Structure 1
Amino acid sequence: MSKELNTSKAQITNYKLRITDHLSDDLQFLIACCQAEPTQKDTDFISSYLSRITNYELLITAASQHGIIPLVYKTLKRLSEEGLLRDTSDVNSKTDNKQSQNDSHPSRHPRARPGDPQPQSDNTHSSPITNAPAGNTLGVHVSRITYHDILSAFKQQYMGIAQKNMLMTAELLRIMKLLEANNIEALAFKGPALAQQAYGDITMRQFGDLDIFVHRKDIVHIAEILSDDRYEARVDKKYFSNNAFLDVNSDCQFFNDKQNILIEIHWTVFRKSFSKKMQKIDLWDRPSKVSINHHEIKAFEVEALLLYLCMHGSKHTWERIEWIVDIDKLVRVSPDINWDKVYQMAEQANGTTMLELGLLLTSHLFSTPLSQKYINSLSTNKKILSLEREVFFLLNANKQTTDSELQKNLRHFRFHLELQDGILSKSLFITKALFPLKSSDVELINLPKSLYFIYYLFRPFRLAAKYFSKLFSFLLKDK
């Protein structure tokens, strides 16, 4: 646990308010829609934000990129049913407020409350285009939009996701049963398993593939089983008996073209270049049993899953709100989490910083019910707070940053370096970054571990050939 500093609760609260103020309105809207228990402030912000929407397609795209369309839809649907959303045209049409106030008989929207903006007269609606209010970063000038339009558009997206999720879940259950019939141990994680574990509903979380964790010794057999089941491996199957290939990678993709379903078979959850020590944790010890459609499958135990989610989000710089919501949902449905065990595993995996960053993010954004002891400690840890600020900056990056590609890469490198616990881990991270061993380096020949150094000797020649080929192709094309 991080060392606590003497900071009052008032200072912590003020800090939280300051840091979330740096988020764009778009992100604040999406976060408000993902709250387990939206406050009145959240509801008011959602209503206000929708009143300024001029292009809901961009809003849907943003929600999809963050993997939270089902959550946004469910929130908007509930607020609509409770009569808490105003028609966006009530505010979008507020361009001649003074003129409206001079009208002798102003009409009020049936859902409007005292103090709500007054609608304009019919003359002000003669133009098919509505003036977009300043400050809306998700829109262009378009025809008037009502919240019914927005809700209908989200419903259509949600129904498509729900249908796809149900089909993929049925396939996961079938594949897990197929592996079991062949005496292969397997754990489902992410995808339908996580949706059921954390959300209690397979339709409430977006996922695009099926992830299954297996023993490394079973990879060749699994590849044969999936091949017979019309799944095609994304690499030549000969590599599954190549120890160097298995050492460098953590998973392999299998695709069923007929069903358009992608399965990722994992023999370790992270590549060694990111977290070699994660392999020390026995993920097969006391797995959880998840019931989906009256079928029971094995999945990661809650403590291991929580650590994995925090490390996975940190690995990808928390670029999707969905990954923070996952933690919030999992903690809320798991009141008996053994926190001592979580921290012990984090220390084993060199993931304490990543764990605490994930917990701080979910606490600040979603008021996740953590022990006050953890909240106070996390909220006063300078290193974690600095990383959180960087996460918020990167979340806003698409809108605000003018960084070059090199600057972006350097930011990500510094971020990942700060995630490492201890001088030795930081040194190893820098070494691996400077002298990486890639999958393409080991695919040419299968060498024993004692001769892995030869791959590093081959690498400069492979890269030279690769970039010379690209340059040659470019010159030919230019002619």
Structure 2
Amino acid sequence: MTNRYALNKGVLSRELVLLLALLAADSMDETAEREPEMFADIDWKLVVQLAMHHRVYPFLYPTISRMREKRVPSGVGECLQNEYRRNTVQMLQLGGEMGNLSGELADLNIRNLFLKGPVLAQDLYGDISLRTSRDLDFIVPIDDLTRAEALLIRLGYVKEEEFETILGDWKWRQHHTTFHHPVNNIKVEVHWRLNPAPSKEPDFDQLWERRRISNHFGRSVHYLSKEDLFLFLAAHGARHGWSRLRWLLDIKQLLQQQPDPGALTRLLDRYDHDDAGGQALILAAGLLNAPVDPGLSGLADRKKAQRLAELAMFYVERMVNLHNPPLPPEVERHYRYYQPAILSRGQQLVYALGFLYPYAADAKTLPLPKRLHFLYFPLRPFLWA
């Protein structure tokens, strides 16, 4: 570990420091013998709350259960064991549905790549019970989106919401639509982009060309290459402020697979995700002792990446869900600054120019016939004002 991955952990609670140690250690017994004080004066109820919030409890339970000395209260182990078993059942259900959906899509010749869920757990952890997933995410070419949605409806899924859109702005302002199955209670997100604009990213054909295939789920399941997966996870984690340690644990597990450093740095540079990638490396190495290939260390040396990592520590030290309003005032203020800060200059320009593109609200402010919707472009500044 070098100073490039040093982070200010002085603001973290003892409980969070212990949780990080449990997630990072190769042998927790050695850590406990070397630093027994780490287990003293711990609010174990808070440890469980942190593990649940950060969604790392299925990974945490085996670590605790393997410890030789019982430094963790039995009640904590029993609670985590119950949650671990519940998650295993849920992941098995999701895995079965993922294989079914992959087969149904393939039968319709709809190319698809699963982004997260059980295939990610199997690939990164070698065991689907060690990671949580609340839904299934897959991406399809935008030209096949209508057919993919029709398939889900035929299978009993219900679309949760319809976008208010004008002049096709949904294609880049949004990146997925959500379906829910009322019987099996499974949620599915269908993507046509990895991330919302102004994020730059590979097109579907490029992702498909580099895809990997898993045969653990009954039918062949296609998913992202290691390098594309890192780009996706880094951009996703940055957008959410790394407010859940599970995302950093994913990064650590992926780094242990040793993605090609040259291919990865070129990919991140091409799509303006150098700083998001550097932020992910700094946080994963600094908090979870993730291994970083020397060929990737230049990403962590970037000044902006270091600044973004420190900004993300604001969310790591708090149990917040950035997409579950209302947010506490101090979190709201911080996020208003953080959100544009994670964008490159080019992305910031695209983001600003996006305000000049008409919004669906403009049609409510000044209703016009659809054939005249092009007039919302020159009218946009006045309608916004």
1:122-144: CA deviation from partner (whole Å, max 9, x where unpaired): xxxxxxxxxxxxxxxxxxxxxxx
Q: Does 1:278 align with 2:201?
A: yes
Q: Return the alpha-carbon distance in structure 1 between the equivalents of residues 30 and 124 of structure 2.
A: 25
Alignment counterpart, residue 269 of structure 2, candidates 347, 355, 373: 347
- Deviation at residue 441 of structure 1 after TM alignment: 6.4
CA distance in 2 between counterparts of 1:452 and 1:195 reads: 46
Task: Return the letter of the residue paired with 1:426.
Answer: Q
Taking structure 1 as reference, are residues 350 and 295 closer, same or farther at Cα in structure 2, changes over 3 Å only?
A: same
1:178 maps to which residue? 104
Q: What's the CA shift string for 1:321-354, capped at 9, x where partnerless?
A: 111110110121x23x222221222122211110
Q: 1:363 deviation in Å?
A: 1.7
Q: Are 1:309 and 2:227 an aligned pair?
A: no
Q: Are residue 420 (structure 1) and residue 343 (structure 2) matched?
A: yes
Distance 2:250 2:152 in 1: 29
Once the two structures are superposed, residues 176-203 of structure 1 have per-residue CA deviations (whole angstroms, 9 ceiling, x without a partner) of 1111111111111111121111111111
Q: How does 1:428-467 map to 2 (within 5 A)?
A: 428-432=350-354, 453=377, 456=380, 460=384
For 1:251, give the aligned amino acid.
H
CA distance in structure 2 between the partners assigned to 1:439 and 1:196 by the alignment: 41
1:209 aligns with 2:197: no
Instruction: Provide the secondary structure at the position in 2 that maps to 1:34.
Output: helix
- State percent identity of aligned pairs: 21
> Which residue among 62, 79, 83 is the counterpart of 1:74?
62
Aligned to 1:365: 287
Tell me what 1:382 maps to.
303
Q: Is the 8 A contact 2:362 2:376 kept in 1?
A: no
1:188 lines up with 2:188 in the alignment: no
Aligned residue identity for 1:269: L
Q: Which amino acid aligns with 1:161?
A: N
Q: Alpha carbons of 1:398 and 1:170: their partners in 2 closer, same or farther (altered >3 Å)?
A: closer
Separation (CA, whole Å) in 2 of partners of 1:76 and 1:28: 15
Write the letter of the residue equivalent to 1:187.
L
Where does residue 22 of structure 2 map in the other structure?
Answer: 33
Q: How many residues align?
A: 375
1:290 aligns with 2:275: no
Report the equivalent of 1:124.
none
Q: Within the alignment, does 1:248 sit opposite 2:173 as a pair?
A: yes
Using a 3 Å threshold, how does the CA distance of structure 1 residues 373 and 210 change in structure 2: closer, same or farther?
A: closer
2:324 counterpart residue number: none
Q: TM-score, normalising length from structure 2?
A: 0.85
Which residue number in structure 1 is paired with residue 323 of structure 2? none
Instruction: Look at both structures and tell me which one has the larger radius of gyration over its CA atoms.
Output: 1
Q: Against the structure 1 CA distance between its residues 247 and 389, is the aligned structure 2 distance closer, same or farther, given a 3 Å change threshold?
A: closer
| 1:452 Cα offset (Å) | 6.1
- CA spacing shift, 1:211–1:449, aligned 2, 3 Å: farther
1:394: Cα distance to partner?
Answer: 2.5
CA distance in 2 between counterparts of 1:319 and 1:263 reads: 22
- Structure 2: any 5+ residue segments left out of the alignment? 321-326
| Counterpart residue number, 1:338 | 260
